[in-house]
Amino acid sequence: MWGQNLVDPACEASDVYDGIICDGSVTIRRLVMYRFSPGSLENRDLYILPYDDSILAGKTTEEIMEYEANGDPDNGLILTQVPFRKKTNPFNHWAVPIVTGHKYLMRWEFGLDFETMRFEIENYLWENDPDIELELPFFDQREAITVDTSDGERIANNTIAINARFGANLIRNDTELLEEPELGKRMNLIINSDLPDRKFVDLTGWRCVGTDWNGECDNGDVEQTEVEDTERRWSNVAAWEGQFGDRIPTDDDDVVIQPSWNMIYDLPVDGPIPKLKSLQINGVLTFEDTADRLIKSHSIWVRQGTLNIGSEEQPFVHKATITLLGDNLDHYWAFTNSIEAGNKNLVVTGTANIYGTPALHPRSRLHVNAFPTDTQIFVDRNMDWKAGDKISIAATNMRTMDLDHCVIQEYIAGSGMLTCTEPLKGFHFGRSRSTVDEYGVDMRAEVSLLERNVEINASTDDIGYVLQEPWGCRILVSDFFEANLEHRVGSLFMDSVSVYNCSQKATWKAAITWEQALMGRSKISRSVLHNGKGVGIFILSSQNIELDNNDIISFVEKGVWAKKSSRLTISDNWVHDVIPWVDEEPLMFQYPQIWPLGAMTISE
């Protein structure tokens, strides 16, 4: 451990002491980080890497990316993993022994942003030691990062060139002006003991500064007007009134549905589908239900308008898909300073009506015991399931991760015999009849159909160079005030929809999040949320939400989490396969040592 210190030739690894030994020509000091937000950083690891200019000299952008992701252990340049410490002094922190006189890259996990963080030293020990310079990547929108010191000074941004004291900094938050824009936004921070009374600095990231630091985000005013009675079609150049010249939207466009527009989305799924940079809906956008539809965008914001995919009275009949794009490093944006919008998201501060055709048989029970290596199971008879459909088979013991996913190879309706394309990994209890009379509850494994004709999903081909795996999407519902004090109210109505590969790893950005959603109303019913890398559903400081008859399957730490919320109705939901946060997913027959999770959690 602490291999980052091998950057100095005075230090070497010692097998005898199982650590790093440095001679008297260098100084090693303790740097502590704590008092952080958001709370999702708790239990996450910190990574630190030598980053002297001499190390980077001559490297291409691709080589720097590879170095930042993995270090260069063959040359003694170690990417060190620093565990989170719950111990006191201080409580909840990361502590690093670090050789002074060098520059280091420091990031949380694979690129998690902090909103606040304290960097503290024992300054009386430093005695004019050489500076430490930290390079801190960040990805969320930051109009400013304030640096406040323990001795009462606020240090201006971009002061490294004129001030080398503890807290001097350089902020580079406009990637278009960077020499290496692919590496993203950066902050450089000087750590030293030049001022004896300065023990720590507090960093605060501001998505929006607003007027007199009130945090308002100015996204421009939206005209308040009636929506037209006539329809305009997405595929018609004239419908855009010159917004894109003599064409319709294409790749990387920022698209705005104006407040008076009644826009019909009519692009055929087999035609060219643009990858939009953003889509903002202030009027009405309706998916035309005459063929399959697909829309792709890095973000979709139902700001003050309405998104319609089917309706309660006339659910969407064809296949409709929203695919959200991007990795964990790009296209972050903000609509208010107090809520972390993030990226790769569908944000609803207006109204979204998303209604798929209800599945005839969304659920079954297992009728016969199923064992590891089995490929055949028995479920309800006379269902409409077919080859190629995906299902899940719930765990029936104390190990939630014993759930199995199955792609149907064959289903025989007359007998209920179903054949999976791959063998099962776990045991699942089955009976031909319910066990309610025997045990007071039906102990048979729940079998869920994961298919719906309307789906919201995340792209899987956008891979960040640090995370090195696909990044999930998220749906966020919220109320907020615009800069001009117009009040936006978010409401989401969703029935018979699949939400797939949503929720973002090592964060609280759930597949569906309500945050500060107080004045609207939302209902999610007969839907399936599955296969996310984070929390399934998170309800924070919100109310008037109904979750009815949904399947919430394969998430991390929490399936459904409600905090500081009221007027919630949660009924007949199945929640399965909620695994703990560990570096590697537990093996099928292996019990993890740590189990901080809950299928459903109500707090505060």
Which residues on adjacent β-strands are paired with residue 265? 287
* Mean pLDDT to the nearest integer, 402-412: 96
Q: How far apart are CA 454 and CA 321, in angstroms?
A: 6
The CA R_g of the chain, rounded to the nearest whole Å, is 26
Q: In what order do the strands lie in the sheet with 80-82?
A: 80-82, 46-50, 103-108, 132-138, 185-191, 169-172
The 10s digit of each residue's pLDDT in 270-286 is 999 999 999 999 999 99
Sequence-ordered alpha helix ranges (H) in 140-281 = none
Which pTM value belongs to this model? 0.94
465: its two tokens: 């160079």
pLDDT at 601: 64
Each domain of the chain, given as residue ranges in start order, spans 3-206, 232-357+464-578+598-603, 363-449
Q: How far apart are CA 288 and CA 542, in angstroms?
A: 32
- For the cut 80, the answer to whether the pLDDT of residue 144 exceeds it is yes
Q: What share of the chain has pLDDT > 90, as a percent?
A: 81
Residues 6+ apart with CB under 8 A from 74: none
CB 118 within 8 A of CB 175: no
The 10s digit of each residue's pLDDT in 310-354 is 999 999 999 999 999 999 998 999 999 999 999 999 999 999 999
Give the least confident one: 34-38, 152-156, 399-403, 517-521: 399-403
Residues 6+ apart with CB under 8 A from 476: 339, 341, 342, 345, 346, 347, 348, 509, 513, 514, 515
Count the neighbouring beta carbons within 10 Å of the beta carbon of residue 269: 14
Q: How far apart are CA 290 and CA 461, in angstroms?
A: 29
- For the cut 70, the answer to whether the pLDDT of residue 589 exceeds it is no
CB 452 within 8 A of CB 359: yes
Backbone φ, ψ for residue 76 (5° rounding)? 75, 20
